[in-house]
Chain A
């Protein structure tokens, strides 16, 4: 089960982040996970929301450069070592993680981590084999 992530290109300028989040709020789109990869002069805002199609449309209409990518929402036990256990499985099975960040929500008292892996189908298969659950919908 894949999760639809939207990436938005942002130049390093005051107020751009405020503008993006305001736009989502005004259009009743709820954020579920969010992270920023930033460099000295630009950033990429990665987000997961409840209405990805509406969000994409909104970004394109408002002249933002946005793109959809598939990621994995991994359910991780909310206790010390919870993430380490998942990472260990990934490492031992050659699931290469490009980046990860935490979701704003929890799932049945467990944490939800967002993983971007090189080969998503292989990643999902490995997780499933090892009894790790992934969620598909926020």
Chain B
């Protein structure tokens, strides 16, 4: 029966039909999850031995949450619920320490995800006549390749530019008359500030829309991007644990991001007690993926803080909307769209015998982009009489950090005792980028 819905119909199902569809898919995911030792234990503990033990979507509340720590502990294959030969791709995002968290996709899983990215682009008014320049990084990160597939599926003219190389981005935008770009909000502002420096002028471009995501931003930033380029900018939300971009996306009304509820169960829980909250109340976003059989993840704590936007959207889609993300419940930093945990940086510093234990992480704006500075005190034995040795050490630390967090930090050496000493639990992160809102 459900197979007869078109994608447009699914987006406009009444709430009751949507819940029935969710229940059907949820049971299927439970069946898959029970194929992993991890969920056999977790679900078994909640009295769920097979999919028939689930009779309503509300039964989800019996199931304990899944955390990033869980994903890390099951690395590399603990959450794989299909045979390895069914997997056609993996993605990974940074973990809080060395090991990344991995997601496996079968061809069917990818098709389901592509359907959502295509749907999201359509919701913002994109068509097959658009030229889509994707300025998100391609690779293990889901941001670039995720939207790429949806754009192709929609029939857009896709330019897989990936991130960086601003001059080339401008050249492509001009020569191929790009109408839609996908980038982080900070990169959009960076682009704007560089137009003239790079020998271009705003008249060279015919840009109409920007899909902006991968880092939290304020309404003011969106408006700034819109007025700089005279375009519409649409907020996008996703995380690799839930596939990547297109978990939630704004439609042309720009009143919150529709969470595609046929594909995800959306819950908001109190950030401390973790009890479910009503629509309109702010708390931590918890998501369950309903469309990925190879890697079932149930009640995943995103650590992102938001609220459900109450009421119906004028676009007619019935999927509820979430507000823009206003913070995190953990210490994760988002630096130029890349997730960085201070613990990853600490791990690198602590294995360097030449470096002491006191360090500080600074994040600042340099122009419109983020700059990461890691200050560290040298240890008593570090010193040589030669600055070259110190340079080499610095380069080695930079390389190790880059390998762990994927972005290039600045490393600064300080004398012992010169960095501020923290009382009690060290607060070593100084984020000088200011408030989001």
Q: Does B86 contact A (CB under 8 A)?
A: no
Choose from A7, A16, A67, A99 the contact partner of B415 (Cβ within 8 Å).
A16
Say whether, besides A9-B378, A42-B390, A64 and B385 are in contact (CB < 8 Å).
Answer: no
- Is A44's CB under 8 angstroms from B417's CB? no
- Is B378's CB under 8 angstroms from A44's CB? no
Choose from B380, B381, B413 the contact partner of A42 (Cβ within 8 Å).
B413
**What CA separation (Å) do A72 and B6 show in the bound complex?**
85
Q: Does B391 contact A (CB under 8 A)?
A: yes
**What CA separation (Å) do A11 and B416 show in the bound complex?**
10
* Residues in B whose Cβ lies below 8 Å from that of A110: none
Q: Does B382 contact A (CB under 8 A)?
A: yes
**Total chain A interface residues with beta-carbon distance under 8 A:** 26
Most chain B CB within 10 A, of A16, A42, A98, is at A42
**What CA separation (Å) do A7 and B384 show in the bound complex?**
7
* Residues in B whose Cβ lies below 8 Å from that of A11: 413-415, 418
* Residues in B whose Cβ lies below 8 Å from that of A9: 378, 382-383, 390, 413, 415
**What CA separation (Å) do A63 and B416 show in the bound complex?**
6
**What CA separation (Å) do A67 and B382 show in the bound complex?**
9
Say whether, besides A39-B391, A42-B390, A65-B378, A7 and B413 are in contact (CB < 8 Å).
Answer: no
Min Cβ gap A17→B in Å is 12
**What CA separation (Å) do A38 and B388 show in the bound complex?**
11
Q: Does A29 contact B (CB under 8 A)?
A: no
* Residues in B whose Cβ lies below 8 Å from that of A5: 385
- Is B391's CB under 8 angstroms from A44's CB? no
Interface flags for A1-15 (1: CB within 8 Å of B; 0: not) read: 000010111110100
Q: Does B412 contact A (CB under 8 A)?
A: yes
List 18 A-B residue pairs with CB atoms under 8 Å apart, sorted by A's residue number. A7-B384, A8-B383, A9-B378, A9-B415, A10-B415, A11-B413, A11-B415, A11-B418, A37-B386, A39-B391, A43-B387, A60-B380, A64-B415, A65-B379, A65-B382, A67-B384, A99-B386, A116-B385
Q: In residues 325-382 of chain B, which contact A (Cβ within 8 Å)?
A: 378-382
B residues with CB within 8 A of A? 378-387, 390-391, 412-418
Closest residue of chain B to A46 (Cβ to Cβ) is B385
**What CA separation (Å) do A98 and B385 show in the bound complex?**
10
- Is B418's CB under 8 angstroms from A13's CB? yes
Closest residue of chain A to B410 (Cβ to Cβ) is A41
- Is A37's CB under 8 angstroms from B384's CB? no
* Residues in B whose Cβ lies below 8 Å from that of A106: none
Q: Does A69 contact B (CB under 8 A)?
A: yes
- Is B418's CB under 8 angstroms from A41's CB? no
12 new A-B contacts at CB < 8 Å, known A44-B384, A65-B415: A5-B385, A9-B378, A11-B415, A37-B387, A44-B383, A44-B387, A46-B385, A60-B380, A65-B383, A66-B383, A67-B381, A116-B385
Say whether, besides A11-B414, A63-B416, A69 and B391 are in contact (CB < 8 Å).
Answer: no
Min Cβ gap A100→B in Å is 12
Interface flags for A65-90 (1: CB within 8 Å of B; 0: not) read: 11101000000000000000000000
Min Cβ gap B171→A in Å is 33
* Residues in B whose Cβ lies below 8 Å from that of A43: 387
- Is B415's CB under 8 angstroms from A44's CB? no
* Residues in A whose Cβ lies below 8 Å from that of B387: 37-39, 42-44
Min Cβ gap A21→B in Å is 15
Choose from A41, A46, A66 the contact partner of B412 (Cβ within 8 Å).
A41
- Is B415's CB under 8 angstroms from A98's CB? no
* Residues in B whose Cβ lies below 8 Å from that of A46: 385
**What CA separation (Å) do A37 and B416 show in the bound complex?**
19
Closest residue of chain A to B390 (Cβ to Cβ) is A42
- Is A44's CB under 8 angstroms from B386's CB? yes
* Residues in A whose Cβ lies below 8 Å from that of B413: 9, 11, 41-42
Min Cβ gap B420→A in Å is 13
